[in-house]
Every structure is written in C-alpha cells, then in structure tokens.
Amino acid sequence: MHFTQIIDFKTDQFDDMNQLMDRWVEQTKGKRTASHSVIGKDRADASHYVEIVEFPSYEEAMKNSQLPETERIFQEMVALCDGMPTFTDLDVVRDEQLNKAACRRFFEEIANDGDLDAIDEVFAAGYRDHDPNKETVTVGTAALREDVAGYRAGFDFRFTIDDQLAEGDCVANRWTWTATHVAEFRGMPATNRQAQMTGQTVFRFQDGMIVEAWWNHDMLGLLTKLGVLEMPH
C-alpha cells in the first residue's frame, strides 16, 4: 500500500529551507526511498507551507526516516521553522491520476468508440497537435475532430494502451493500434487488410485540459503492411 506523509510548517526563511531540501536530495542520492515530493505555500499566509512526500509503503518511509542524512536535515529544518513542524501519516486508499484518465478518454471513448463530442471536454480550444506524418501542426479541436473522423471512416480500428507515465503536466502513452483498412483514406483505396502499428503520444495538460500533443509512430511500416507501399529489398 502506498504511503504519504504530510509535513506542515511555518517559516519566514523559505529560500534557506529550499536550499536545505536540495542538499537532502543530493546527500540521499541512491539511498532515499521517497518517490515524490511537493511543497505548497498557503495563499492566505505566506509563511505557511505544506510538504507532501510519497513513498511506496510505510516500511519504505521508515527506512527513509532512519537515514542519518534525514535526521541531520530535519534538525536544520526545525531551526528554520517558527515552531515544531507537524506530521500526518496517511495510508493511500485511493490514487486517482486524472491526467492519465483524460488520456484514456481520448484513446478509448473518442478514438475507439467515436464519441467526438467528448473532444471539447478533454481538449483545450487552442489544442496543438504535432505529428511527423503531417506537413503542418494541427491547431484547434475542430481540426482534431476532422482527423479522428477521417481515421474512423478509413479504418475499423482499436487503440490499446500498453503503458502510461505521468510527470508534471505531461503524460506519455505507449499504445498499439490494430486496424483494418475498410475505405479510402487520404487518396488510398481500401485494401481490406489488417495491420498493427505501435507508437507513443505525449499529451501536455494545462488547467485539466490537453493543450498539446507529440506523436511518434511508424506510418511507413503501417502502409507497407497494408500493401499500399512496397519496401525496396
């Protein structure tokens, strides 16, 4: 079970505190068990901070707290604080990664199932789509809607999400696309052949909406499998 520790503290010396945190990260390299740390400042009280530290488990958190570097940094942290920091230990009972869920909505609900109206719920109006197989950057949800509709008209297909990794405001998605070429697509007559293509898409989020994407997939290999192109021997 994942474990999270919330550290609540007050200080008027946050720059010094920030340097202290950097020093702890450097000194515990290769030894710490913390997987993620976020520090937030109270908008109503500029001296009030909350740090949220994530661990794979309670046991791993205890190993982290027993590091000599952690104890030394904690004593220095206390000296910078206005009063003793408070600690809240939490066993994580639900971890909803909303950006990952929004990406799944695109692949499963919009692309696979054809709910094009959901595009406006997932993508920002000024969405920018970077695809090396296009001459220009696709801009806007109307253009995205046209792209998805075009693929759905030309192919009977399904995306399968193989992996998702979230970091900051981006989510990387590794996927497999299985399709049958059932109708004309971009001037290419239907071949009625089935083929698979693997690829990766990185979506960038802002205010809970997808604002940009970068695609990487083997379109040349797909066209070869469909018999549209013949690779030289």
**HEC profile of 112-155:** HCCCHHHHHHHEEEEEEEECCCCCCCEECHHHHHHHHHHHHHHE
- Asked if 179 and 118 sit in the same domain, the reply is yes
Whether residue 133 has pLDDT greater than 80: no
Is residue 232 domain-resident? no
Residue that finishes a domain, picked among 42, 67, 91: 91
Does 199 lie in the same domain as 124?
yes
User: What is the predicted pLDDT for the residue at 231?
Assistant: 55
Q: Which domain holds residue 47?
A: 3-91
Give the CATH number of the domain where residue 49 resides: 3.30.70.100
**Do 105 and 169 sit in the same domain of this protein?**
yes
Q: Cβ–Cβ contacts within 10 Å for residue 175, how many? A: 19
Residues 28, 63 within the same domain: yes
How many structural domains are present in the chain?
A: 2
Q: What are the beta bridge partners of residue 88?
A: 6
Sort strands 48-55 and 86-91 into parallel, antiparallel or unpaired: unpaired
Q: Average pLDDT, stretch 30-54?
A: 92
- Measured from the Cβ of residue 155, the count of other Cβ atoms closer than 10 Å reads 21
Q: Tell me, yes or no, whether 113 and 220 share the same domain.
A: yes
**Residue ending a domain, choose from 53, 70, 91:** 91
Which of 37, 65, 91 represents a domain boundary (last residue)? 91
- Same-domain check for residues 85 and 109: no
Contact 158, 193 (CB under 8 A): no
Provide the pLDDT confidence category of residue 165 given band limits of 50, 70 and 90.
very high
In whole angstroms, what separates CA 192 from the centre of its chain? 35
Q: Are residues 80 and 117 in the same domain?
A: no
15-29 confidence digits (pLDDT tens)? 999 999 899 888 888
Is residue 193 a contact partner of residue 218, using CB atoms and an 8 Å limit? Answer: no
Measured CA to CA, the distance from residue 85 to residue 75 in angstroms comes to 11
- Taking the whole predicted model, whether its pTM rises above 0.75 is answered as no
Identify residue 49 by its one-letter amino acid code: Y
32 and 67 within one domain: yes
Q: What is the CATH number of the domain that holds 111?
A: 3.10.450.50
**136-161 per-position pLDDT tens digit:** 887 899 999 999 999 999 999 999 99
